Amino acid sequence: MSDLRPYQTDLVSRVEASPAQSVLLVLGTGAGKTRIAEELTARTVARGGRVVFLADREELVRQAHDRIGGTVVMGSYRPTPDVARPLSPGVTIASVATLARRSEAPDATLVFADEAHLYAAASFRRVLEAYRSSGAKVVGLTATPARLDGQGLGSLFSEVVQGPSAEDLIRDGYLVPVDHRAPTGPWWDAVRLSGGDFDAAELEQAAGAVLKEVAGRWASLGGILRPTLVFASTKAHARKLADEFSSLLFLHGLPPAETVTDDTPAAARRSVRDRIESSELRCVVTVGVLGTGFDAPSVSCIVMARPTLSWALYLQQGGRGLRTAPGKQDLLLVDCAGNSLRQGLLTKPFAVNLDGVQRKHRRAVAGLTTCRKCFRVYDWTEPQCPGCGAAKPRGAERRVKEVDGQLVELTGAQQWAERAAAGAQVRKLAAWMRDAAERGWKPGAPMARFRGTFHRWPSRQEIEEARKAVNQ
């Protein structure tokens, strides 16, 4: 344990001391969850136990095998002799998808579920439940203790062991600080929601108007000087962004940006990390595949071009740049998607709730504002930008209202609605009723518009008064 960090030693002890059969270990990206699993594995094997480490993708299986060793169970994959470590007796690194298709699984007294937030899926859940039924202790590993849709993990784990916050890890030098910038306007405002998040196809269409702006802001803020990871909305969006970034890289004599998606061959995906670390590759645009489990410590710029209401997705994407590396001073987060303003600063502490987290309202705000001069994101209680000293934007504290427990930014029409007297609200409802009759709207459309403007449904009395006004 001599090479364990103090907080890692503490977490190992807390996991071992827990009487719970299923424990969720929550620790930020880059803080060493695999190192903790490695230590717990060594202790378990030394006592004569057997360990199974579950991962959901080939890259994560390979990474775990490189660190922990053991037998690999993943379809037809077998480590080649030049990369395989000596077998660690009693240790199996397994693809959870492979085990889900089999009638039998390797015996274990301790089971790790890497990226534990994924195990609410039915097939993954069956694997964990089979091990729990056999009496094995299950330890989930995650930096984001909720599914991407916000649902909790209480049905899988009965106790939480949480490590230090990102702020604490930054203070102690284990992660790098984050420089949040939000240099674009809300280009996603008109995009409808689908499945609880922004519709990907509409995002792709809306993003077409800001492709050059996203790339230009990245370059002007100094991102072009840093190894960069860009998160796009769709594959087509990723390719278009890569073209724009490549044009700017060419002007600086740098290699073009590359796209990495689930269509990218596995060997090419595996080479991305080494090519970034060797400076052969400066910028990668991705969608869907590098948000979790991608470990490239030299990445010091993250560009978010995919708006999301998912807190977990936001943390996963931003966390790719938090690791320390020689010469790396901070992470430049170029948020062209409004995610930090919606979700809060990437490093803010949070309490784990096994019941889940609430999806953010599309216009949610997190008590932050953006400097109009340098685009720095900062707390709106500050009198001026802590970076360049520019005065805070006028009205930064007055455009919000609490809706369903969240602070929501008000549109201009909604700000008028806040000031409107009850009589004006009824007259507005009557006007919408007239429009509905003239234009053939659905019967409930006026009431829905009322709710969208005034954040409440009209009362029965207000509906009757509006109808009388229409009939006069």
Top mean-pLDDT range of 145-149, 182-186, 361-365: 182-186
Query: Does residue 238 have a pLDDT over 90?
Result: yes
Query: Does residue 84 have a pLDDT over 90?
Result: no
Over residues 54-70, mean pLDDT:
85
State residue 146's pLDDT score: 75
Residue pLDDT, tens place only, 393-444: 665 554 545 444 444 454 445 444 555 666 788 888 998 898 888 888 888 8
Over residues 18-42, mean pLDDT:
93
Query: Does residue 274 have a pLDDT over 90?
Result: no
pLDDT band at 216 (very low <50, low <70, confident <90, very high): very high
Query: Does residue 249 have a pLDDT over 80?
Result: yes
Higher pLDDT, 153 or 254: 254
State residue 399's pLDDT score: 53
Higher pLDDT, 19 or 189: 19
State residue 155's pLDDT score: 84
Contact yes or no for 85/69 (Cβ under 8 A): yes
pLDDT band at 148 (very low <50, low <70, confident <90, very high): low
Name the least confident of 66-70, 166-170, 290-294, 383-387.
290-294
